[in-house]
Structure 1
Amino acid sequence: MLVDAHAHLLPRDYPADAPECFPRMEPVDGDTARTLVFGAMRFTARDAFFDAERRIQEQDASGVDVEVLSPMPPLLKYDLPAGDGLSLARWVNEATAQLCAAVPDRLKGLGMVPMQDPDAATAELKAIKDQGLLGVEIASNVLGKSIGHEQFLPFFTEVERLGLSVFVHAMPSPSERLPMSAMGTYVVGVEGAFAAGSMVTGGTAKACPDLRISFSHAAGGFPLMLPRAQYFWGGSWNEEPVDLTRAVMHDDGPSPVELARRFWYDSMVFDRRALRFLVDYLGADRLLVGSDFPAMLREDPAGRTLRTLDLPPEDLADVMSGNAFRWLGIDHP
C-alpha cells in the first residue's frame, strides 16, 4: 500500500456572493480545467484538483492507494481580514469534506483555519473534526511570524487535545528575503527550516509531546541543521554521550534531535541520497511519501526512488503507508 501524504485540492467553485477578496474559479474554454484567480495569482487547475473520479483514475495510474488532501497552499492567505479568512476556510473545508466523502477509503482530508486570528483558528478545530477531517494544513509562517511563536501555543495545544494532525506547508514570508522566483526552490527550504526550528526553539515541541505534525519537503534545510544544534546542546559529535564541558546551550532536554524525531517529514526531496540521510538520521518511522500532486507530476510510479534505498521490508512498509496512518491517528486498513 502507498499513501501520498502531500497532495492538494481546490474547490471547483466559490459562492457567487463571496467577498471580493475571495478566490474565483473560472472555466477554461474547451477544457475540464478551471483557472484559479486569487488576487494577482492565475493558476490553471486541472480537474484532478476537484473531481473525485478523476483523482482516483490518477491514483490508479501512478500506484497510489490513498491520498491525504490539503488545500492548495495559496489558499492559506493570512493577510485576509479575519472574518473573511474564517469564511474562506469554512467553504474550503466543506468542499474538502464532500470530496473525501465521495471515496472515503481513498481520500483523507485536512482542513484549514484563519491563523491570522489564532483564537478563531483554535475555536474552529472542533468543527473540522466534526466534519470528518483528520487535521489541518497551516503555512510555515503567519504574516512573517514563525509557527513556533508562543502566540500559537494554545492552537497547537488544542490540536493535540482533539487528536488532530497538522501538515505544515512551506510558504514565503512577507520579508521577501528571497525573490518570488525562488518560491518553488530555495524558499521551500528556508521557510520549512524556520518553521520546524521554531517548533523546537520556541518550546512547542516540548510542550506538546503528543502533537502529530508533519512538514512539507522534509522541512527544507532543517535536518541538516540538527547536528549543529545537537552539538551546542550536548557538546558531542555523532550523538555520542553528552559532554557538558563543550556544551554551549544545554538544558534539561529532550535534545534537539529527540524533539525533531517527534515530527514527520515528507519525501519530496528529489534525490535518493537526501532520502537516505533522512532515514539514517531521523529514522524510517519519521518519513512519509509526498508528491505535491496535482500541482506537480508524481514520480512514475509513485515511490520509485524510495524503493531503491533497499530498506528492510518493515521499514519500507512504514514509509509507504504505516507512518501516514500513525500521523493521521487512524487505523491502518
Structure 2
Amino acid sequence: MLVDAHAHLLPHDYPADAPECFPRMEPIDGDTARTLLFGALKFRARDVFFDAERRVEAQDASGVDVEVLSPMPPLLRYDLPPADGLSLARHVNEFAASLCRTHPQRLLGLGMVPLQDPESAAAELTAIRDQGLRGVEIASNIAGESIGDERFLPFFAEAARLGLAVFVHAMPTATDRLPPAAMGTYVVGLEGALAASSMVVGGTAAQCPDLRIAFSHAAGGYPLMLPRAQYFWGGSWNEEPVDLDRAVAPDDGPSPLEQARRFYYDSLVFDHRAIRYLVDLLGADRLLVGSDFPAMPREDPAARTLRAMNLPPDALRRITGENAFAWLGIDPPG
C-alpha cells in the first residue's frame, strides 16, 4: 500500500457570479489544461489537477494506491475579506468532496478554511467533516502571523475535537533577508521550521495533545533545531538523561522532542540521508510519503528513494501507508 499524503487539486472552474477577488480558470485552446489566474499568479494547470479519471491513471502509472488531496496552496489567501475567504473555501471544499466521491478508495480529501477569521474557520470544520473530507489544509503562516499564536488555539482545539487532521503547507512570506529566487527553496524550509516551532513554543501542541497535525517537507529545518531545543530544555546531549544543572531554560512540561514526536512529517526532502535522520530522530511512525504532485513530478516510481534504503519492512510499511491512515484517523483498507 502506497499513500501519497501530499498531493494537490484545483477546481475546474468557479461560479460566474463569484466575487472579483476569486480565482479564474480559463480554458486553453486545443488543450485539456486550464490557466489559473489569481491576482498576480498565472499557472497552467494540467487536467490531472481536476479530473478524477486522470488522477487515477496517474496513480496507476506511478504505483500509488491512494492520494490525500489538498487545495493548491496559492488558494490559501488569508488576505481576502473573511466573507470572501469563506465563500472561496466552500467552493473549493465542495469541489474536493465531489472529486473524492468519484473514487473514494483512491482519493481522500482535505478542505480549507478562512483562517484570517479563526472563529469562522473553526465553525466551518463541522461542514468539512460532514462533506466527508478528512481534514483541513492551512498555510504555515496566516498573513504573516504565527500559527502557534494563541488566537488560533480554538481552531486547533476544534479540529482535535472533531477528529480532523491538519496539514500545514509551507508558504513563503516576503523577506528582505533572501532574494526572491529563494522563495520556493530556502524560505519554504524556514517557514516549515517556524510553523512547527511555533506550535510547541506557543503552547498549542501541549494544549491539544490529540491534534493530528502534519507538516509538508518535514517541517523544513525544524528537525535539525530539535536537539538544540532539547538541550536548552533539559541539558542533555544525545537524549541522555535530563541534567537540569546544564539546562538553559528548564521547563517541567513535555520536552521539545516529545512534542515533535506527536506531529507527522512528509518525507519529501529529496535525499536518503535526510530521510534516515528523520527516521532516527522522530521515528518511522511519524513519516508520510509526499510528492507535491502534480505541482511537482513524483519520483519514478513513487517512493523510489524510500524503497531503496533497506529500511526494516515494518518501518517501510508504516511510512508508505499505515501512518497516513493514522494521521487521518481512519482504518486502513482491508
Q: TM-score by structure 1 length? A: 0.99
Shift in Å at residue 135 of structure 1?
A: 0.3
Aligned partners of 1:144 and 1:175 also within 8 Å:
no
2:320 pairs with 1:327? no
Superposition deviation, residue 173 in structure 1: 2.2
User: Per-residue deviation at 1:175?
Assistant: 4.6
Aligned to 1:307: 307
TM-superposition CA deviations, 1:252-301 (whole Å, max 9, x none): 12100000000000011000000000001100000000000000000000
Aligned counterpart, 2:231? 231
RMSD of aligned residue pairs (Cα, Å) = 0.8
CA shift for structure 1 position 176: 5.2
* Structure-2 change in CA distance of 1:153 and 1:257 (3 Å): same
Q: How has the CA–CA distance of structure 1 residues 176 and 90 changed in structure 2, closer, same or farther, with 3 Å as cutoff?
A: farther
Distance 1:133 1:282 in 2: 28
Match of 2:317 in 1: 317
Tell me the alpha carbon deviations over residues 158-212 of structure 1, each in whole angstroms, 9 at most, x when there is no partner.
0000000000000022455434322221111000000000000000010001100
1:140/1:192 contact within 8 Å kept? yes
The whole-number CA distance in structure 2 between the counterparts of 1:149 and 1:205 is: 11
In 2: Cα distance, 1:284 partner to 1:180 partner: 35
Q: Which residue of 1 aligns with 2:289?
A: 289
The within-5 A match list for 1:179-198 is: 179-198=179-198
Contact kept, 8 Å, 1:14 with 1:24, in 2: the verdict is yes
Structure-2 change in CA distance of 1:175 and 1:79 (3 Å): farther
Separation (CA, whole Å) in 2 of partners of 1:51 and 1:177: 40
Deviations, residues 201-250 of structure 1 (Å, cap 9, x unaligned): 00001000110000000000000000000000010100000001100111
Shift of 1:92: 0.1
1:254 and 2:245 aligned: no
* Structure 1 residue 91: Cα displacement: 0.2
Q: Deviations over 1:32-71 (max 9, x none)?
A: 0000000010000000000000000000000000000000
Question: What are the superposed Cα offsets for residues 6-43 of structure 1, whole Å, 9 maximum, x if unpaired?
Answer: 00000000000111110000011111000000001000
Q: Secondary structure at the match of 2:111?
A: coil
In 2, Cα distance between the equivalents of 1:61 and 1:52? 14
Conservation of the 8 A alpha-carbon contact between 2:77 and 2:85: yes
Distance 1:179 1:20 in 2: 31
Contact 1:143–1:174 (CA<8 Å) still a contact in 2?
Answer: no
Task: Return the alpha-carbon distance in structure 2 between the equivalents of residues 219 and 326 of structure 1.
Answer: 19
CA distance in 2, matches of 1:50, 1:250: 50
The residue number in structure 2 matching 1:199 is 199
Q: 1:86 is paired with a residue of what secondary structure?
A: helix
Change beyond 3 A, Cα 1:125–1:177: farther
CA distance in 1, matches of 2:176, 2:162: 35
Q: Residue in 2 aligned with 1:109?
A: 109
TM-score w.r.t. length of structure 2: 0.99
The equivalent of 1:152 in structure 2 is 152
> In structure 1, the residue corresponding to 2:183 is in which secondary structure?
helix
Q: Which runs of 5+ in 1 are unaligned?
A: none
> 1:235 touches 1:247 (CA, 8 Å); kept in 2?
yes
Instruction: Provide the rounded CA distance (Å) in 2 between the counterparts of 1:160 and 1:226.
Output: 24
Letter in 2 for 1:311: L
Letter in 1 for 2:323: N
CA contact (8 A) 1:25 1:37 kept: yes
Whichever residue aligns with residue 94 of structure 1, its letter is E
Q: Which amino acid aligns with 1:267?
A: S
